[in-house]
Amino acid sequence: MSTPEKNRPAISRAVFAISVLVLSAILFVALNTFSNVSLQNARLDLTERSLFTLSDGTRNIVANLREPVTLRFYYSEDVVTEIPSLRAHAQRVRDMLGEIASVSDGMVRIEEINPEAFSVEEDKASDAGLTGVPLRTGDKVFLGIIGTNSVDGREVISFVAPERATYLEYDLARLIFSLANPEKPKLGVVSNLPLDTGAGGLLLAMEGRSEPFMIYQELQASFIVEFLEQDFDRVPNEIKVLALVHPKELSPQTLYAIDQFVMRGGRVIAFLDPHSEVSLTAGPAGKPVQGYTEASNLPVLMESWGVEMVPTDVLADRLRAQRVAAGARQRRQLTDYVLWQRLVPEDFDQDDPITAPLDALHIGSAGILRPTEGASTTFTPIVQSSPESMILDLERVKAAPSPDDLLRSFESADQRFTVAARLSGPVTSAFPEGRPLADDEEEAPIELQSSAHLTESIEDANIVVFADSDLFDDRFWVQVQAFLGDRIAVPTADNAAFVVNAVENLMGSNDLISLRGREPADRPFTVVEDIRRDAEAKFLAEEQRLQQRIEETEARLAELRAELPDGSSASALLTDAQESEMQSLQRELAEGRRALRDVQGDLRRDVDALGARLAFINMALVPILVGLVWAGLGWTRRKRRRARAEAAGRAIVTSNSSTGGAE
């Protein structure tokens, strides 16, 4: 008896496969067409800090607009067709402008203009202050923004530089904020640093070659900055926030004026320093600016505020130490310098609007803040050191010890020290008896006699104190690039963001604060850094032992040579024992120096080997693991196929046997 024939499929497998491919292609084209039409404005931001999503600060600024704002985007689209990187950057600017306009409910209008060569639009762009970047072809590339409000306000970004791509949202939001708030608040500044002239001081400023500190320029963009002479009797009423930036020693009358400013409800941010390296920066004559101040402190006022900074204490931090050049005699290129720190989000108060958005702060030779006993204010640390910190004496810091010497003698106190703090609460006057008289005064000036003396603050004080002034130094936190006569700041840390955040917060405006820390966060290899630090500590200890051995050997050789008369031969006057000792010492000296070179080289080799292992893990290990997984899956599939084939063969044999038996 024959088995019934199985029904064959209506279509062959080849036809079925081709049909599936054709339908898949049609579905792919249909989905792309649908997404381009219906999902044109859809975004999915998977970055950790939502770098491509508008922040709440931008949304608040746009939502609070009381009048329409027009942003004219000048973009030479035809010229940049052969510059892919600039074209991609321009598309990002266009997308960001579109995002802002889409949430503005019509209050932000975007106009895109292509300023073609020799056109009216090109002339308007140049007249408005936009920068045309010349190309080799002779064409100019415009990539700038002109913002206007409904009256006569105008703000310009002359060229949206790709180097500031990570600050694009902040730059655009600040432009809109400036148009919406044309009257800038006034910031009073008392400083003995050349903030407005740079290290060149007044000499270069008079020649038109001054380079102001970049932080000062950031402050100018947001506030009206008014410098107060460092001897004054009263803070003007129109000043809401007073910045004390490493001032010289102030007179009692000036201290009283600041005290009464706080009593009247004024806000203060003070940057003090036990050892200001920026003040010692050499000017054009090779010396610090005339009248520099190496240290600053306000003990009289700070006692009433509830905080103190010991003038002889300097912070050292091994975990946050910055890497600096090791020196010409060292074979290592870089070493940790515990007096200069790169503080990270772990060291910031994440609940304070000043520090919450920050990623890094660069400081140097900073002081340490502590609350005073019985203070009426609340002392809240907002910037601290890491737990691997210690206190160094100021005199030792002034002796300029080498980074390696500081590392060898480092002994962690196993505690965090406060570098910046917010002080809030009621404050009593540091001058309970009223204004102190100067030596040449018999009574207070008439204009001050009529002003009532306040012994207590009329409202809770809001004061920020930072125990460092070097964070203002451009060298610490920013790379300044010259671009067609302009200075473009590319920050490597958030020093400017901290200063401007603090002033804006004390002014009562927090909308822009959340935007300044949205650049990609620094992601150090913490495990690698720990291994490197441990290895460096081990080799530094061995290096010190060998160096001591070499110095002792050289000292003994010097003693033996000192016993010889001038011009005498060692072999002629030394005894056999002395000559043998000298030869032994010379061999030991050579061996010690060779061992020292080997130790210095071993540190570099260990770090390089660690880097090579990490590179192998990153580049080769994952592909190898994927290959092994696929090989395992392939082997498993072949094994299953073989098992199914064997099972099918046994089934056929069994079926044939049964059929034969039935016949």
Residue 228 pLDDT level (bands cut at 50, 70, 90): very high
Structure tokens, 354: 């000043």
Residues 28-52 pLDDT 10s: 888 877 776 666 556 666 665 565 6
Nearest in space to 232 (alpha carbons), one of 201, 182, 272, 188: 188
Which run of H or of E encompasses 189?
strand 186-191
Q: How far apart (Å, rounded) are the C-alpha atoms in residues 273 and 247?
A: 10
Residues 278-298 pLDDT 10s: 988 766 555 666 667 899 999
Q: Percent of the chain scored above 70 by pLDDT?
A: 73
Residue 524 confidence (pLDDT): 60
The model carries a pTM of 0.68
Average pLDDT, the chain: 81
Neighbour-count burial for 439-449, b at 16+ CB within 10 Å, e otherwise: eeeeebeeebe
Residues 235-255 pLDDT 10s: 999 999 999 999 999 999 999
Residue 174 confidence (pLDDT): 85
Nearest in space to 302 (alpha carbons), one of 504, 502, 461, 471: 461
Q: How far apart (Å, rounded) are the C-alpha atoms in residues 141 and 418?
A: 49
- Which residue did the predictor score with more confidence, 323 or 369? 369
C-beta separation of 216 from 160 below 8 A? no
Q: HSE on the CB side for 270, CA within 13 Å?
A: 30
Computed from CA positions of residues 409, 413, 416, 419, in that sequence, does the dihedral angle turn out positive or negative?
negative
C-beta separation of 202 from 212 below 8 A? no
The conformation of residue 157, written as its DSSP 8-state character, comes to: E
Give the ranges where 428-525 is alpha helix by DSSP (H): 446-449, 474-477, 495-507
Structure tokens, 652: 């056929």
The conformation of residue 574, written as its DSSP 8-state character, comes to: S
Nearest in space to 612 (alpha carbons), one of 528, 502, 491, 514: 528
Q: How far apart (Å, rounded) are the C-alpha atoms in residues 23 and 644?
A: 32
Residue 663 confidence (pLDDT): 47
Would you call 271 exposed, middle or buried from its count of C-beta atoms within 10 A (0-12, 13-18, 19+)? buried
- Judged by DSSP in three states, 630 sits in helix
Residue 190: how many CB atoms within 10 A of its CB?
A: 24
> Dmax of the chain from CA atoms?
139
Residue 180 confidence (pLDDT): 87
Inform me whether the pLDDT recorded for 448 exceeds 90: no
Structure tokens, 341: 């720190």
Residue 38 confidence (pLDDT): 65
C-beta separation of 128 from 156 below 8 A? yes
C-beta separation of 117 from 76 below 8 A? no
C-beta separation of 356 from 288 below 8 A? no
